[in-house]
Structure 1
C-alpha cells in the first residue's frame, strides 16, 4: 500500500512512519527537515505553515492513504493543524486521493466549532472525574489548540473525502502494546492515557476499516 505521512518527524507521525515501513508499505514522509530522517526514507520537503500546493500534490498523488500527525510545536503555532489539513485536503482533491486518517484529541468531542456550534455538553464516555475535573482543566489550558482541532474536524466533514479523526487522551512514549479500546463518536470510559505508538497502530489499522470512515473515534488503553 502507498502511504503518505504528514508530520513524520513528530511523536505520532514518527511512530506511523516506522510502523508503516516495518509492515512493508511504500511510504512518503512529508517533513520540514528531511535531514531528521534516514536517507532511505522517501521524503517530500513541505512546511505547512507556508504551503506550496505543488509539493503537497506531489506528496499525496497516487497515495492509497494519507495519515497526518500534524500539530503545533508550540503555542505560537496554534491554528496550523486546521490550516495544514485544509491544504492537505485540497491537494488530495486535486490528485484524486481519498483516504485520510488524522490525529485529533479526546476533549474535542465537546468543543464548539463554526460547523458544529452546539456539541454535547459532556462526552458520553467520560466518568465523573474526567467530566467535571480533568477535561475542563485541560480545555482551559489548551483552549486554542482544541479549538483548532475542532475546526480541523469541520474541514474533514466538509471535504467529501473518506476521513477518520482519532481522538486520544493524554499521550505517553511507552512502547507499542497493540492493546487498546476504541469507540466511534465518544471517548473511552476510564481511558486517561495511551502510548503514541498505539495511536499510530490504530491509525494504520483504520485505513482498511470502512466502519471508521466519516467518524471521530475515541481511543485509550
Structure 2
C-alpha cells in the first residue's frame, strides 16, 4: 500500500512510519521541520495547513498524527482535521486519525465520557474537549472515508511493542487485569492493521493492550 503519515516527526507519527515500513508499505513521511524527518520511502517537508490534494493523491491511506497541547493551539485539532477532510473530500483515499481517549464513553447510554469522570485530571480537560469537538465534526462528514482510533486512557510513550492488543468500540475497554493502557508502539500496530484491513470506515474504535 501507499501510506502517507502527516506530522510524521512526532513520537507516535514516527512509530507509525516505522511500523508501515517494516510491513513493506511505501510510506511518505510529511513533516514541517526538515531536520526531523524519520526514515521513510519518501519525505515531504510541508506544514499540514499548506497541504493540497496534489500532495496526497496516489496514496491509499493518509494517517493524521497531528497533536496540539497548549491552550492557544487546541482549536487546531478541529481546523487541521477539517483541512485534511476538505482535501480528501469525494476521493477514495482513506483518512485514519490518531485520536484521544477522553471522549470514550463509560456507560452503555453513551451519555458520560472518560473526561467527565472525577478522576480525570483538570489539566487535560481542555485537550479532551478540543479532541472531542473535532471527533464530533468528523462524524458529520459523509464525504470522507474516515476512521478514528482512540488509544487507551493510559497511553504509554515508551512502552514496548508486543504486537498484541484488544479491540474496543465506543466505550472504555479494559483487559483481563482490569487495566486500560497501551504503548505507542502497539497503538501503531493496531493503526497499520486498520490501514491494511479497513474494518472501521466511517467509525471510531478503540484499542487497549492485552
Number of aligned pairs?
201
SS of corresponding position for 2:104: helix
Residue among 186, 195, 211 paired with 2:183 = 195
Is 1:19 the counterpart of 2:19? The answer is yes
Which of these residues, 145, 156, 169, is aligned with residue 127 of structure 2?
145
Q: Distance in 1 between matches of 2:171 and 2:36?
A: 35
Cα deviation digits, residues 27-63 of structure 1 (max 9, x gap)? 1111111221257642222223xx22xx332331111
Aligned: 1:90 with 2:86 = yes
Asked whether the 8 Å contact 2:149–2:207 carries over to 1, the reply is yes
Q: Distance in 1 between matches of 2:71 and 2:123?
A: 11
SS of the aligned residue for 2:96 comes to strand
1:58-91 residue CA offsets vs partner (Å, 9 max, x unmatched): 3311110111111115343212222111111111
Q: Equivalent of 1:157, from 117, 136, 139?
A: 139
After the TM superposition, which residues 74-89 of structure 1 pair with which residues of structure 2 at under 5 Å, given as runs?
A: 74-89=70-85
Gaps of 5+ in 1: 112-117, 124-129
Kept in 1, the 8 Å contact 2:29–2:40? The answer is no
In the alignment, what sits opposite 1:217?
Answer: 205
The unaligned stretches of length 5 or more in structure 2 are none
Contact kept? 2:2, 2:60, Cα under 8 Å:
yes
| TM-score calculated relative to the size of structure 1 | 0.80
Root mean square deviation, CA, Å: 2.5
Deviation at 1:109, TM superposition (A): 2.5
User: Which of these residues, 101, 105, 125, is aligned with residue 100 of structure 2?
Assistant: 105
Shift of 1:211: 3.0
| Residue deviations 1:156-194 (CA, integer Å, cap 9, x gap) | 222222221111122211121111111121121233321
Q: 1:43 to 1:74 in 2, by over 3 A?
A: farther
Calculate the TM-score normalised by the size of structure 2: 0.84
Q: 1:141 to 1:3 in 2, by over 3 A?
A: same
Match in the other structure for 2:168? 183
